[in-house]
């Protein structure tokens, strides 16, 4: 989607030539005697429209309004949340056939956050998965112009971030949505290479031989039951000063999780194609960084493989040696995420990270604990935890801190190795995090369990692109607090994932069943 921001008075909004004019009217809107103001006043007086959030009034061929169609949207107090809720309700209108150009007029002084949020919501509302659909019609909407009463520097900056963020979110959704046979470890690696064509980016792909040489025995154990070769993807973005400690992001990249020999039940197993949601969010964040070119160094690591049952698959009771040298008794082959992550986390130490953050669709227990609203946040570092929580709130991609008391690790004891890969059923999300913690040493580390938030089940089944928003916000706040080092060059455009047919876009609103 093409987004444009410009200053627009109510009178100018009426003159804006487009197929659809969305007018956001808040309780603060001063209704003037211009064409739109007059209509809103009348409609409110007649009881056909109200300013409370979510109210709509569709109008056609309004006198003195250039747009073919006008949609009045009440946004209540006009907060970012109100704007999001109001815009989510007009996804269908944006996808109408023949609609090519839309304009969104803020009929009140919207703050920067509301403008960024509008862009993200429009991006979400107009995304549709088409990659493996033979009959998908392309979305006709080509451009959305956002009109604000005053285009301040803060609003313009937030707009740019919103545009980059929705592109990253769309990329994460696209890769997570693709079925496992259309999103193999090799295909994810190729996607990373595509993103890394942007300025200040590079990418290194490690195959089975390199991973064996590194001694990633835990990661290899998960991959050994699959015909698909594993990939260890390493992305670098160097926007900061040379030698500035990077933020390292690690994303779980299980492109399909059958459970392995500890096989999962058949019901809803298809959703385990989303088990690379963490990996997809790393790709999405790098796509956003490519566009924004902030002054920060970031490393992205993705251990990618399938978890399959097979004659060669790892068996319950097998003991493997992780890259750290610690041995692991694999008591349950379905607890594979922590096995691929522990080697990636150990590998991360070589970059001497300022912070290390992993994202993983790690435990069903986290879905039970927090549902689909907030991701689980685990960190022993108060400063890092609070920065991530703040970033999540600001990006409306929230998380919630969970405990990490040492006693939670008691259940990981093994009679045959340094640790088992599972504890009991109790506090399953916490014991998984305690397992990971054994591999991070004293690096400031946080773990985001996104099992409940990375995708939705049921009629709205599909990836959400979370936690791209949270991570991008976190990285940008780090970049802002660091001293500026150099002016950003213009980014080379990185290709978006290609679809079988042209991209059409759709909204998904329902939440994950049982979440
Ligand atoms: N990918 C799953 C976690 C998952 C399950 C995410 C359901 C979203 C919905 C993970 O690999 C897994 O299977 N975890 C096990 C761990 C258990 C064996 C300790 C789980 O949560 O059941
Ligand atoms: Mn599993
Ligand atoms: Zn898994």
In a domain, 300, yes or no: yes
In three-state secondary structure terms, 256 is strand
Residue 227 binned pLDDT confidence (cut-offs 50, 70, 90): very high
Q: Mind listing the pLDDT tens digit for each residue in 46-77? A: 999 999 999 999 999 999 999 999 999 999 99
pLDDT range class, residue 509, cuts 50, 70, 90: very low
Q: Could you say which of 178, 338, 438, 504 is catalytic? A: 338
257 lies in the same domain as 397? yes
Tell me: pLDDT of 181 over 70: yes
Query: In the structure, which protein residues have their CB atom closer than 6 angstroms to any atom of ligand 1?
Result: 257, 275, 332, 334-337, 361-365, 367, 422, 428, 451
Q: Is 374 a catalytic residue?
A: no
For residue 490, pLDDT over 60 is answered with: no
For residue 254, the CA-to-ligand 3 centroid distance in Å is: 6
For residue range 348-395, list pLDDT tens digits in order.
Answer: 999 999 999 999 999 999 999 999 999 999 999 999 999 999 999 999
Whether 202 and 144 map to the same domain: the answer is: no
Give residue 233 CA to ligand 3 midpoint distance, Å: 18
133 and 227 together in one domain: no
Mean pLDDT taken over the chain: 94
User: Does residue 159 fall inside a structural domain?
Assistant: no
Is the model's pLDDT at 485 over the cut of 60? no
Does 222 share its domain with 281?
Answer: yes
pLDDT band at 342 (very low <50, low <70, confident <90, very high): very high
Q: Is residue 181 part of a domain?
A: no
For 293, residues 6+ apart whose C-beta sits below 8 A from its C-beta are: 199, 200, 239, 488, 489, 490, 491
Please give the share of the chain, as a percent, with pLDDT higher than 90: 92
Any domain includes 106: yes
Looking at the fold, whether 145 and 202 belong to one and the same domain comes out as: no
Report the domain count for the chain. 2
Say if 371 falls within a structural domain.
Answer: yes
Contact indicator for 131, 500 with CB cutoff of 8 Å: yes
Which pLDDT belongs to residue 505? Answer: 38
Q: Decide if 514 is inside a domain.
A: no
Q: Is residue 68 part of a domain?
A: yes
pTM to 2 decimal places: 0.94
Protein residue with its CA nearest to atom 16 in ligand 1: 335
Q: Are residues 372 and 223 in the same domain?
A: yes
Q: Please identify, among 86, 114, 149, the residue that sits at the C-terminal boundary of a domain.
A: 149
For residue 407, report the phi and psi dihedrals to the nearest 5 degrees: -60, -25
The CATH number of residue 57's host domain is: 3.40.220.10
Is the domain of 231 the same as that of 367?
yes
The whole domain housing 22 covers 2-149
**2-35 per-position pLDDT tens digit:** 999 999 999 999 999 999 999 999 999 999 899 9
In contact, 218 and 319? CB cutoff 8 Å: no
Q: Do both 293 and 402 map to the same domain?
A: yes
pLDDT at 473: 98
Note the pLDDT tens digit of each residue in 183-220.
999 999 999 999 999 999 999 999 999 999 999 999 99
336 C-alpha to ligand 2 centroid (Å): 5
CATH number of the domain enclosing 352: 3.40.630.10
Least distant ligand from the CA of 454: 1
Where do runs of H (alpha helix) occur along 438-467?
none
Q: What is the pLDDT of residue 502?
A: 40
Q: Which of 134, 149, 164 is the last residue of a domain?
A: 149
The protein residue whose alpha carbon is closest to atom 22 in ligand 1 is 364
Q: Which of 2-6, 264-268, 345-349, 504-508 has the lowest mean pLDDT?
A: 504-508
The answer to whether residues 91 and 71 touch, using CB atoms and an 8 Å cutoff, is no
Domain end position, chosen among 88, 119, 149: 149
Assess if residue 155 is contained within a domain.
Answer: no
Cα separation, 407 vs 411, whole angstroms: 8
Find out whether 389 and 399 touch, Cβ atoms under 8 Å. Answer: yes
Residue to probe by mutation, ligand 1, list 256, 262, 309, 334, most atoms within 8 Å of CB: 334
* 8 Å CB contact between 273 and 180: yes
Residue 426: DSSP 8-state: T
- Contacts with 311 (C-beta within 8 Å, 6 or more apart), sequence order: none
User: What pLDDT shows up at residue 482?
Assistant: 78
Catalytically annotated residue among 151, 204, 264, 401? 264
| Interval between CA 508 and ligand 3 midpoint (Å) | 23
Tokens of 454: 């990375």
Q: Are residues 7 and 121 in the same domain?
A: yes
Q: Grade residue 237 by pLDDT with cuts at 50, 70 and 90.
A: very high
Q: Is the pLDDT of residue 506 over 90?
A: no
Same domain, 306 and 222: yes
Whether 239 and 375 map to the same domain: the answer is yes
Give burial (CB, 10 Å; 0-12/13-18/19+) of 78.
buried
For residues 405 and 493, state if they share a domain.
Answer: yes
Does the active-site annotation cover 350? no
């Amino acid at each position: 989607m093409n987004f444009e921001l410009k200053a627009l008075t109510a009178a100018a909004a009426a003159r804006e030539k487009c197929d659809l004019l969305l007018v956001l009217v808040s309780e603060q809107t001063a209704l003037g005697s211009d064409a739109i103001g007059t209509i809103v006043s009348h409609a409110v007086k007649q009881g056909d429209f109200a300013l409370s959030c979510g109210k709509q009034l569709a109008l056609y061929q309004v006198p003195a309004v250039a747009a073919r169609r006008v949609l009045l949207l009440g946004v209540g107090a006009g907060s970012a949340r109100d704007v999001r809720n109001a815009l989510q309700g007009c996804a269908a209108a944006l996808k109408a056939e023949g609609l090519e150009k839309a304009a969104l007029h803020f009929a009140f002084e919207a703050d920067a956050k509301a403008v960024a949020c509008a862009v993200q919501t429009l991006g979400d509302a107009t995304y549709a998965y088409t990659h493996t659909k033979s009959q998908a019609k392309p979305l006709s909407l080509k451009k959305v112009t956002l009109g604000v009463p005053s285009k301040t520097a803060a609003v313009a900056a937030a707009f740019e971030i919103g545009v980059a963020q929705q592109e990253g979110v769309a990329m994460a959704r696209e890769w997570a949505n693709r079925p496992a046979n259309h999103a193999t470890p090799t295909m994810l690696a190729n996607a990373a290479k595509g993103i890394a064509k942007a300025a200040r980016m590079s990418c290194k792909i490690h195959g089975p031989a390199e991973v064996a040489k590194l001694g990633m025995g835990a990661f290899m154990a998960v991959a050994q039951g699959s015909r698909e070769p594993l990939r260890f993807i390493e992305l670098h973005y160097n926007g900061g000063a040379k030698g500035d400690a990077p933020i390292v992001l690690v994303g779980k990249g299980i492109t399909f999780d059958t459970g392995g020999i500890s096989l999962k039940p058949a019901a809803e197993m298809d959703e385990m194609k989303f088990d690379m949601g963490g990996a997809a969010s790393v790709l999405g964040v790098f796509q956003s960084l490519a566009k924004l070119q902030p002054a920060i160094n970031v490393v992205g690591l993705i251990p990618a493989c399938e978890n399959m049952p097979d004659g060669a698959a790892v068996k319950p009771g097998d003991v493997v040696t992780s890259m750290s040298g610690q041995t692991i008794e694999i008591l349950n082959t379905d607890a594979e995420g922590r096995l691929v992550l522990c080697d990636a986390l150990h590998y991360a130490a070589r970059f001497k990270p300022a912070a290390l953050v992993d994202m993983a669709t790690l435990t069903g227990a986290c879905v039970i604990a927090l549902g689909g609203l907030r991701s689980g946040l685990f960190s022993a570092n108060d400063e890092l935890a609070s920065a991530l929580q703040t970033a999540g709130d600001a990006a409306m991609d929230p998380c919630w801190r969970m405990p990490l008391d040492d006693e939670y690790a008691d259940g990981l004891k093994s009679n045959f190795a340094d640790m088992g890969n599972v504890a009991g059923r109790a506090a399953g999300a916490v014991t998984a995090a305690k397992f990971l913690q054994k591999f991070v040493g004293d690096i400031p580390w946080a773990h985001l369990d996104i099992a409940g938030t990375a995708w939705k089940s049921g009629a709205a089944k599909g990836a959400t692109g979370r936690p791209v928003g949270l991570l991008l916000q976190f990285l940008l706040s780090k970049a802002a607090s660091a001293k500026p080092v150099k002016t950003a060059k213009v980014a080379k455009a990185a290709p978006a994932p290609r679809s079988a047919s042209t991209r059409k876009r759709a909204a998904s609103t329902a939440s994950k069943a049982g979440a």
